[in-house]
């Protein structure tokens, strides 16, 4: 056991200390604290808080420090917001960028509308919950205070479904999504189902009032088509489809995207998913939307067909990592929105930097890949404004970013600012 002083919170929400010349990460410790910890390599297990931070508060969940779902739950709100906003500041600084960053926007709302539970089989019994921090150990939980009310029955349903497949001995992931029509569930890891398993799963879906149950995206039972609301549209959700984690998060991001596109006549929405932005943008502009997931694009178009008052919306399946829209293909658009996965949009950012598009709206779930893509756009002559960090993953190190890049501002004299 060693006594350590915590210098700061790291980018994963762990306390950062020093043991001689070695940097040590201490989960659940806060900046400014003196703690007793057991060191193993470059990580340590927190044993005792000797001198607590004045910013330490009581956590809201009894599973905190056991379940790995939350990294920073014992930090007072103001200090928490500073830390989370600082994650974006640090990523920009590390990329050599000095850009104005707005305050953190709280977009937790009613809670997470999607969650992935993990199941591991122990002598015929399914253990269901979340994984411990930096571990594959399952921490069984009965409830999670971060989930939206529509997922209140999710853990009970997850245990029932996993228990039916416990005899296989395979680890499972159970993807739950709250929809307008109830919970939508996609099982991952089971493989092809036997007839008796299918029957038992259908019965469990009935007992737990699931809207739909799928296995690796293949339908097991459909009781009600799961729909989500996107602007004026109702969109049929593909199994396991990507959604922003909270409804409040989607609304906060979309509001900024729509505002930045005000006055646009033609808009391209890249990495469009099921149309969280495209369907809203189509209320005022002609939109062309692209995503590699063909089922997501089809769902977006189905939502558009059922909505009234939309301008023309075109959708196409296209892998923008290997086939980004070229600068020539981007020429007809006065606004482009892109919201890539965590890896960012390296190839597409390079094409945008060579294009003459007036306004590019970047949405990102990774501060590091955002900083890289932003640097490419800035080097291509864009200037940045309205950088906003958005927190829909409360108590975690994940943060969303929305930013507007403009050639018009650049022509007006605003310059890229580099550190050093």
Domain with CATH 3.40.50.150 in the chain: 90-108+245-411
Q: Please tell me the least confidently modeled range out of 68-77, 134-143, 225-234.
A: 134-143
Nearest-10 crossing angle of helices 367-379, 346-354: 20
Q: Where does residue 406 rank: exposed (0-12), middle (13-18), buried (19+ CB within 10 A)?
A: buried
**Residues 179, 211 contacting (CB under 8 angstroms):** yes
Per-residue pLDDT, 263: 97
Task: Decide if pLDDT at 408 tops 80.
Answer: no
pLDDT digits (tens, 9 = 90+) for 335-368: 999 999 999 999 999 999 999 999 999 999 999 9
Per-residue pLDDT, 414: 37
| Mean pLDDT, residues 78-84 | 97
pLDDT digits (tens, 9 = 90+) for 176-215: 999 999 999 999 999 999 999 999 999 999 999 999 999 9
Per-residue pLDDT, 135: 82
Task: Decide if pLDDT at 373 tops 80.
Answer: yes
- Active-site pick, 63, 144, 272, 365: 365
Three-state SS at 370: helix
Does residue 365 carry a catalytic annotation?
Answer: yes
Three-state SS at 255: helix
| Mean pLDDT, residues 239-244 | 94
Domain with CATH 2.40.50.1070 in the chain: 114-227
Q: In the chain, how many H helices and how many E strands?
A: 10, 23
pLDDT digits (tens, 9 = 90+) for 87-104: 999 999 999 999 999 999
| Mean pLDDT, residues 99-112 | 97
Per-residue pLDDT, 418: 43
Task: Decide if pLDDT at 399 tops 80.
Answer: yes
* pTM attached to this predicted model: 0.94
Task: Decide if pLDDT at 385 tops 80.
Answer: yes
| Mean pLDDT, residues 256-277 | 98
The span from the CA of 205 to the CA of 220, in Å, is 9
The span from the CA of 138 to the CA of 132, in Å, is 6
| Mean pLDDT, residues 271-286 | 98
Question: Nearest Cα to 239, choosing from 271, 201, 213?
Answer: 213
Of the chain, the percentage scoring pLDDT greater than 70 comes to 97
Residue 82: band (very low, low, confident or very high) from pLDDT cuts 50, 70, 90:
very high
User: Could you please report the per-residue DSSP string of 131-171?
Assistant: EPTTS--EEE-S--TTB-GGGTTHHHHHHHHHHHTGGG---
**Residues 166, 124 contacting (CB under 8 angstroms):** yes
Report the CATH number of the 114-227 domain: 2.40.50.1070
Per-residue pLDDT, 136: 84
* Residue 275 DSSP class: T
Residue 9: band (very low, low, confident or very high) from pLDDT cuts 50, 70, 90:
very high
| Mean pLDDT, residues 34-47 | 94
- Beta-strand pair 286-291/266-270: parallel
The span from the CA of 161 to the CA of 313, in Å, is 39
Report the CATH number of the 1-56 domain: 2.40.50.140
Conformational region of residue 340, where left means phi above 0, alpha means psi within -120 to 50, and beta covers everything else:
beta
Question: Nearest Cα to 142, choosing from 132, 156, 122, 127?
Answer: 156
Domain with CATH 2.40.50.140 in the chain: 1-56
Per-residue pLDDT, 133: 81
- Was domain 90-108+245-411 assigned CATH 3.40.50.2300? no
Residue 411: band (very low, low, confident or very high) from pLDDT cuts 50, 70, 90:
very low
pLDDT digits (tens, 9 = 90+) for 124-177: 999 999 998 878 899 999 999 999 999 999 999 999 999 999 999 999 999 999
């Amino acid at each position: 056991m060693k006594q350590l002083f915590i210098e700061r919170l790291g980018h994963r929400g762990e306390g950062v200390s020093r043991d001689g010349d070695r940097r040590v990460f201490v989960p659940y410790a806060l900046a400014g604290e003196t703690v007793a910890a057991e060191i193993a390599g470059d990580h340590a297990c927190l044993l005792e808080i000797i001198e607590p931070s004045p910013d330490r508060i009581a956590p809201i969940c009894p599973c905190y420090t056991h379940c790995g779902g939350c990294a920073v739950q014992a930090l007072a709100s103001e200090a928490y917001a500073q830390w989370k906003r600082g994650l974006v500041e640090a990523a920009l600084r590390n990329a050599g960028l000095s850009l104005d960053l707005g305050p953190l926007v709280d977009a937790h709302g009613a809670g997470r509308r999607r969650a992935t539970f993990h199941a591991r089989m122990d002598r015929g019994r399914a253990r269901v919950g979340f994984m411990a921090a930096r571990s594959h150990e399952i921490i069984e939980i009965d409830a999670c205070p971060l989930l939206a009310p529509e997922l209140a029955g999710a853990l009970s349903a997850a245990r029932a479904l996993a228990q039916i497949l416990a005899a296989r001995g395979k680890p499972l992931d159970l993807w739950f999504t709250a929809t307008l029509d109830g919970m939508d569930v996609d099982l991952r890891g089971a493989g092809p189902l036997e007839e008796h398993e299918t029957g038992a799963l259908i019965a469990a879906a009935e007992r737990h009032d699931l809207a739909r149950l799928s296995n690796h995206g293949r339908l097991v039972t459909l009781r009600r088509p799961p729909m989500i609301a996107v602007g004026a549209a109702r969109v049929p959700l593909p199994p396991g489809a990507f959604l922003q984690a909270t409804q409040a998060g989607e609304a906060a991001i979309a509001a900024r995207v729509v505002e930045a596109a005000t006055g646009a006549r033609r808009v391209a929405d890249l990495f469009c998913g099921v149309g969280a932005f495209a369907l809203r943008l189509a209320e005022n502009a002609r939109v062309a939307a692209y995503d590699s997931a063909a089922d997501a694009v089809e769902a977006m178009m189905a939502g558009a067909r059922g909505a009234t008052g939309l301008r023309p919306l075109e959708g196409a399946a296209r892998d923008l990592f290997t086939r980004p829209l070229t600068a020539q293909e981007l020429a007809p658009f006065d606004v482009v929105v892109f919201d890539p996965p965590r890896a960012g949009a390296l190839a597409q950012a390079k094409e945008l930097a060579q294009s003459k598009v007036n306004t590019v709206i970047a949405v990102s779930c990774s501060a590091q890949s955002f900083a890289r893509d932003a640097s490419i756009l800035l080097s291509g002559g864009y200037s940045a404004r309205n950088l906003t960090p958005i927190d829909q993953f409360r108590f975690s190190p994940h943060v969303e970013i929305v930013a507007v890049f403009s050639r018009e501002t650049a022509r007006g004299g605003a310059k890229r600012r580099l550190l050093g």
